[in-house]
Amino acid sequence: MKVNVVRNSTKRLNSDLSYLRQPDFIQLCRRLKSSHFTRNRKMPLENLLISVPARKGRTLQIELAYFKELFAMDNEISKPGYLKQRMKLNPEAYRELMRHHARNYYADGDASYDFKGYLLLAEDGSSCNVPLTDENVSTFGSVVQHKDRKPRPQIGIAALFDVGNRMLIDLTTEFSKFDERASAIKHISTETDVIGDRKAIHIFDRGYPSGSLFLHFQKNSIYFIARLASCHYKKEQLSMKTDDEWLDVIFDKSRVSAIRRAGNETAAQQMESAGKIRLRFVRITTPTENTVCLATNIPESLANIDEMAMLYHKRWGIETAFDDLKNKLQIENFTGSKPVIIEQDVYATGYLYNIMVDIMQDADTERTLYDADYKHPLQINRNIAIGLMKEAVIRLLLTEDAEKQAKIMNGLITEINRFLLPVRPGRSCYRSPVKLELKCEKTKLLRAVASLLL
């Protein structure tokens, strides 16, 4: 289906291209010296910026040959020369591009999904393995994955994600073992720069609940939903007489001391000063028939117990976003082993993700035109769509010709809508557990011996 109008995602891509030529953004790109990126180079700054999200996870020499063809360059690019330029580039430039694209998305009024006027924002963290070097261990930290192996360096990633509109509001790199609550507060304190004055409900999993975080939300009049582990606020959970009630959480000496022992003196003092906080505790049953307790400050007039269960279930969207980043966009295919290059790759992947989500929403808008011809409503096959988009997005970034952009977008969206999936209501399939074949010969031997001794 051919569409002649300029799509909103294309307008925002053109805005990104204009933004990366602004003097303030060019200054942000300069990591080391204010004089960098002023001379004429084989690969100018604009092409250097596009080369990072354009990478395909191959060897650097093959990537450089691809860049030469992609940018129609006359001269070869050497590996030392390319990496030297990359070392001068500030990773925060890609984070700003990611936020700039999201900022325009909300400013244009395209964030269509909300709950009674509230955006649903989920916060979560993950980690990625990085190349084993002493510099990476000291910069990002490490984890011991097996007692007989060396520590493995990992980079922490924290994200604030709009689960309804699937847009990354913010993404930051962290130490391998980082304070998730501090990252959440940092993201929430700057979210208005992206979403403007839109109201939001923040959704958290079990790693986030704490008295200091709840006090921060209460002080700033922010609605939240946080899942409680069985050991979190156990006294309050056991005192519940119904599945939905308001309780006073007392910050007694034991709770304050636990925060102080963790090294957060400021939070401990805030809890001592407040003394208590009144929260709503809601007990729900998940689709897997597990009982879950949620803590929230949302009044019953805004969300009843069934709506609370639905809102918490929406949090799963951030898990699928991390799956897209890791397994479909291959965020761990790093260009080099230096910490600055690793951070560039992480932020560039986040920027690429927001562009792809934006294009998929345009494709989904046009997809609804096909629904009347089918028994069941249709949805986009995200696996195929992401695979189709990466090359097309780079070609879109390399041209500002409206006719060429329209041709690329028409072809891309037509291809995406060739692979639609029916949404069959009430469909479920039990997955029987399967024991995977062991690859480690030592483990196979130990298990075989153990089975003989039983």
Burial of 369 (0-12, 13-18, 19+ CB in 10 A): exposed
User: Rounded to whole angstroms, what are the CA distances from 420 to 177, 380, 383, 426?
Assistant: 40, 5, 11, 19
Burial of 17 (0-12, 13-18, 19+ CB in 10 A): middle
Provide the pairing of β-strand 199-204 with 118-129: parallel
Tokens of 230: 């069985």
Tokens of 236: 């309050």
CA nearest to 169, candidates 113, 117, 106, 221: 106
Query: Within 10 A of 299 (CB to CB), how many other CB atoms are there?
Result: 10
Query: Within 10 A of 261 (CB to CB), how many other CB atoms are there?
Result: 9
Q: What is the pLDDT along the chain (454 residues), one digit of tens a residue?
A: 444 556 889 999 999 999 999 999 999 999 999 999 998 888 999 999 999 999 888 889 999 999 999 998 888 889 999 999 999 999 999 999 999 999 999 999 888 888 999 999 999 999 999 999 999 999 999 887 666 667 789 999 999 999 999 999 999 999 988 989 889 999 999 999 999 999 999 999 988 988 888 999 999 999 999 999 988 899 999 999 999 999 999 998 888 888 888 778 888 888 888 999 999 999 998 777 688 999 999 999 999 999 999 999 999 999 999 999 999 999 999 989 999 999 999 999 999 999 999 999 988 887 776 666 777 778 888 889 998 998 899 999 998 888 999 999 999 998 998 888 887 777 666 666 666 555 555 555 666 666 666 5
Where in the chain are the domains? 113-322
Query: Within 10 A of 415 (CB to CB), how many other CB atoms are there?
Result: 15
Query: Can you state the angle between helices 92-107 and 8-19, rounded to 10 degrees?
Result: 140
Q: Which residues pair with 291 in a beta bridge?
A: 285
Q: Which residues pair with 323 in a beta bridge?
A: none
Predicted confidence at residue 128, as pLDDT, reads 93
* 282 Cβ neighbours under 8 A, 6+ residues apart: 243, 244, 293, 294, 295, 296, 305, 308
Tokens of 165: 């509109």
Rounded CA separation 178/400 (Å): 41
DSSP state of 129: E
CA nearest to 29, candidates 104, 86, 79, 102: 86
Q: Which residues pair with 250 in a beta bridge?
A: 276
Predicted confidence at residue 447, as pLDDT, reads 63
Domain covering 113-322 in this structure, CATH number:
3.90.350.10
Predicted confidence at residue 106, as pLDDT, reads 96
Rounded CA separation 116/108 (Å): 20
Predicted confidence at residue 2, as pLDDT, reads 47
